[in-house]
Chain A
Amino acid sequence: MTALGKLFRTTAFKLTLVYLTVFALFAFFLLGYFALNTKRLFTEQVTEAVDAEITGLVDHFNAGGIRRLTFVVEARSRRPGSSLYLVTTPGSDGLAGNVGSLPTGALDKPGWSETVYRRIEESESSELHRALARVYHLPGGFKILVGRDLEERDRLFQVVLNAGKWSAAVVIVLGLAGGFFVARRVLHRVDAMTETTRSIMGGNLSGRLPVAGSGDEIDRLALNLNEMLARIEALMRGLKEVSDNIAHDLKTPLTRLRNRAEEALRTSRSEQDYRAALEATIEESDSLIKTFNALLMIARAESGQARDNMVECDAAEAAQDVGELYEPLAEEQGLSLEVDAPAAVLLHGNRELISQALANLVDNAIKYAGPMAKANGIPSVVTVQARADGDRVLLSVGDRGPGIPESERGRAVERFVRLEKSRTIPGSGLGLSLASAVAHLHGGELRLEDNAPGLRAVMVLPRGGPLPAATPAQTGATERV
């Protein structure tokens, strides 16, 4: 019963009921109109014919008196059909015709009336028939009644009425069955969706809503919800990845911190020893805070929160400013830093984040190319470039350092990944993933290329910034989050 009740409460079923009622009313009115019109037409025909006949009979009376009239009426009465005739004396005694009995007083008033009668050959006990008749008083008190039996009209009316009843019955049965069927189908699909949603809420984030493939509105809804689920799943996976990585990679420096403090307690003899140990502790915790900030920053960029703060800004200016900030450091490391950003390159973005990403890339370049340049004794160049490429902006940092082998480039962008060769270089290992997150936030991507030799990191950003609708779903679906 509850299942049936659920069915009756569905929108599909309610809609069916409404349509059904509307259609039934419509059919009813149509048939009624048809019936009434038929009746009217029939009556019109009868009155016209009867009027004409009476005129003819009056002519006969005028020409040949009552004898001729009775003669003509007798002749006509013998013809089969629905025509009714009666000629009477002024005292209402029948002279000629095929009408046997009439209600008393039916002939008293001239004019039209619907009356009942029996044919002359029928007995007193037989059923009365209905007729439409006109009474005409002739000069001399004689009366004529001419009419038509109404049985035909009534039968037609009955037929129409029956048709109406049957069609209404059929419409209702079919409509209810259809509504039932549609409602059950919809209910079935919605139930399936509800069940999937429950399982997703229960923690199975990889569940997806069923799509029937018919491309109807429920399918479109399911597809959209599935895209949303994919995005949520990707975000959750990202979150889990972050927490896993935080757990793993922050524990290492925390352990170091703790060990150092413990060691200081155990072995320090002088105030100077303690002071040194404490300073080292503060330094270590500062670098932990830096790592933590970078992580938060990446998480924030990836969640798309910073999109609100995007304005028109100049990538060339950002490149020049970052270049200028790092130029002395590069020089100190035996490198020369060149900025190639001759013309303004406007884009819709967050200047602070773009600068930070760029700073991280330059910092990386100096860290990796510097020692190599020093070892080889050959000064090498770090190039910061900003240029427009169609509707995209390319912000790149190229170095002549060891580079990253092609097979490891994908992994290099991931959080905390520090490729084996770089273990000795200080840093959180978040620089590339931060740049990648910032690029994603702007609807673009970070590409690592061979600078032959060295590494070229390119942030490819769309000029117009992220597309408001498309980006979240697309980055979630097609790219690493």
Chain B
Amino acid sequence: MTDATGPHDAMRLLIIEDDRDAADYLVRAFRETGHVADHAADGEEGLAMALDGDYDVLIVDRMLPKRDGLSVIGELRAKKIQTPVLILSALGQVDDRVKGLRAGGDDYLPKPYSFSELLARVEVLSRRRGGRNEETVYRVGDLELDRLSHRVTRGKEEIILQPREFRLLEYLMKHAGQVVTRTMLLENVWDYHFDPQTNVIDVHISRLRSKIDKGFSQPLLHTIRGAGYMIRDGSRN
């Protein structure tokens, strides 16, 4: 497994957001977490900066002065610029989300959001460039997941998983070393975009944990307080 761009490698981000306070907050928060964040206050400026700068991820508000967020994305995509885009929007309904993704966005986060959620999503988007998608076998420590044969082993032991547990583990391992939030799991593993009243995901995680970590000295599946979960080879950090 290659861990070229770990979560602590600095990302270059562009935040296109007209609300001064919200933008400042994001720039500060990203800097505190060790990333570089630039800010554009309207659509035109944002588009110009996105065209010039070499950013890892763009964070685009939907409703912007001068040029609408979706139109900025459309223009970038038309110019064959494939920088991952996360859309931030007060419009949080399912069809707004679909519209945003159709316009060329890679992820959609409705306001209000928590910073940990945003950070986790941006990190996953940035990792996208690494090309982990093509690997057929994911490995974290001695845990191995074969995407073709659907076999999961830890050490020499085969672990039997339900189909959904397999997809859950697959998603976690695809983003090994990165924080994955509950909402991300719900969206990517279950394809639900609403939020269940109770934290059902926690129970699924603890089931999965009991299957892959129970009886092993080194736990791989970690709970990140206030953010979500992460699968990582503890012995390496």
Contact = CB atoms under 8 A, between A and B. Distances in A.
Interface string A320-355: 010011101100100000000000000000001101
B99 to A, nearest CB: 11
A196 to B, nearest CB: 36
Interface string B183-220: 00000001011111110100110110000000000000
A289 interface: yes
Contacts of B203: 328-329, 332
B193 A352 contact: yes
Given A282-B114, A326-B200, A359 B194 contact: yes
A290 B197 contact: yes
A290 B95 contact: no
A356 B93 contact: no
A350 to B, nearest CB: 8
A352 B194 contact: yes
Contacts of B110: 293
A306, A325, A355: residue with the most chain B Cβ atoms closer than 10 Å: A325
Contact of B200 (A286, A290, A328): A328
Contacts of B197: 290, 359-360, 363, 427-428, 431
Nearest to B186: A325
A217 to B, nearest CB: 39
A29 to B, nearest CB: 66
Nearest to B164: A324
Contact of B196 (A306, A325, A352, A428): A325
Given A321-B190, A328-B204, A359 B196 contact: yes
A191 interface: no
A363 B204 CA distance: 15
Interface string A196-224: 00000000000000000000000000000
Contacts of B98: 309
B192 A329 contact: no
A289 B112 contact: yes
A282 B207 CA distance: 27
A239 to B, nearest CB: 17
Given A332-B203, A359-B196, A296 B190 contact: no
B194 A286 contact: no
Contacts of A428: 197
A306 B93 CA distance: 10
Is chain B's binding surface mostly helix, strand, loop or mixed?
Answer: loop
Contacts of B94: 306, 309, 352-353
Contacts of A332: 203
Contacts of B206: 328
B200 A352 contact: no
Contacts of B198: 329, 363, 366-367
Interface in A269-296: 279, 282, 286, 289-290, 293, 296
A308 interface: yes
A251 interface: no
A300 interface: yes
Contacts of A261: none
Contacts of B92: 293, 296
A293 B193 CA distance: 12
B226 interface: yes
A300, A309, A359: residue with the most chain B Cβ atoms closer than 10 Å: A359
B196 A296 contact: no
Interface in B75-132: 92-95, 98, 110, 112, 114
A297 interface: yes
Interface in A403-453: 427-428, 431
B110, B192, B200, B207: residue with the most chain A Cβ atoms closer than 10 Å: B200
Given A308-B95, A328-B200, A363-B198, A352 B207 contact: no
Given A309-B95, A326-B200, A297 B226 contact: no
B207 A328 contact: yes
Contacts of A296: 92-93
A275 to B, nearest CB: 11
B195 A290 contact: yes
A308 B195 CA distance: 22
Interface of A: 279, 282, 286, 289-290, 293, 296-297, 300, 306, 308-309, 321, 324-326, 328-329, 332, 352-353, 355-356, 359-360, 363, 366-367, 427-428, 431
6 contacts: A296-B92, A309-B95, A328-B200, A332-B203, A359-B192, A367-B198
Ordered nearest first, which 3 A-B pairs have the shortest CB separation?
A: A328-B203, A356-B194, A363-B197
Interface of B: 92-95, 98, 110, 112, 114, 164, 190, 192-198, 200, 203-204, 206-207, 226
